[in-house]
Amino acid sequence: MKISETGLAGVYLMEPAVFEDERGWFMESFSLRELQKAGICDEFVQDNHSFSAKKGTLRGLHFQNPPMAQAKLVRCTRGAVWDVAVDLRKGSAGYTRWFAAELSEKNKLQLYLPRGFAHGYLTLADASEVEYKTDQYFSHLHDRSVRYDDPAIGIPWDVSDPILSSKDRKAPLLKDSDAGFVFGGDRL
């Protein structure tokens, strides 16, 4: 597993070693030991799996507020997505900055987002599936969205009229949200 820093501190891109032979291929999709070598010590407690039927489906930007914040380790197991992490930790040098990468069935890349980041993705193909680990359980009470097209964040999504959930269509701008992350504060 090759773990690379991104332009956003704390966000990592992972490239698993893929072993191909006449039968197909093999890879370690998760190794606690490899993550720990890179200083990622979260204890993942939940695996999520979502399917989007259509290209142009946009899920995000999502996070859970403290004390139920979540780190995520995301991969695309079918099709392709443009996956985005946004730093929402007030006081962070990277506040409102984002990093994006294409994750696909083909490239097998994974994106790691620590607590304090929002997450979203746009499907680049019909029938795309995303699987991700989280280090905190789902909490409806702490679940939040902010506008995917918030100009204060300025993500250049390559879509004009995305397919959105009703929750994401009604999401507030960051300035109107109660996002509660503070950089260097108590554990999120």
Ligand X SMILES: Cc1cn([C@H]2C[C@H](O)[C@@H](COP(=O)(O)OP(=O)(O)O[C@H]3O[C@@H](C)C(=O)[C@@H](O)[C@H]3O)O2)c(=O)[nH]c1=O
**Do residues 39 and 33 lie in contact, with contact meaning Cβ atoms separated by under 8 Å?**
no
Buried b (16+ CB within 10 A) or exposed e, 36-55: eeeebebebeeeeeeebeeb
Q: For ligand X, give the closer residue by CB, 108 or 144.
A: 144
51 lies in the binding site for ligand X (CB under 6 A): no
Q: Does residue 62 have an active-site annotation?
A: yes
Question: Nearest approach, Cβ of 24 to ligand X (angstroms)?
Answer: 29
- Nearest-approach distance from CB 73 to ligand X, in angstroms: 11
Helices (H) and strands (E) in the chain, counts: 2, 13
Q: Is 54 in the site for ligand X (CB under 6 A)?
A: no
Contact call for residue 31 and ligand X (CB under 6 A): no
Comparing CB distances to ligand X, the nearer of 22 and 178 is 178
Tokens of 134: 């989280």
Q: How far is the CB of 26 from ligand X (least distance, A)?
A: 28
Whether the ω angle into residue 67 lies within 30 degrees of 0, i.e. cis, is yes
116 lies in the binding site for ligand X (CB under 6 A): no
Rounded to whole angstroms, the Cα distance separating 37 from 70 reads 20
Q: Give the residue nearest to ligand X (CB).
A: 138
Beta strands in the chain (DSSP E): 2-5, 12-15, 18-21, 24-27, 46-52, 58-64, 72-78, 80-87, 98-104, 110-113, 117-123, 128-134, 143-145
Is there a catalytic annotation at residue 132?
Answer: yes
Between 35 and 111, name the residue whose CB sits nearer to ligand X.
111
Q: Does 167 bind ligand X (CB under 6 A)?
A: yes
Closest CA to 70 of 165, 181, 168: 181
> Which among 18-26, 93-101, 114-122, 177-185 is the span making contact with ligand X, rule CB under 6 A?
114-122
- 26 contacts ligand X (rule: CB under 6 A): no
Catalytic-role residue among 12, 62, 119, 121: 62
119 binds ligand X (CB under 6 A): yes
User: Which residues have a catalytic role annotated?
Assistant: 62, 132
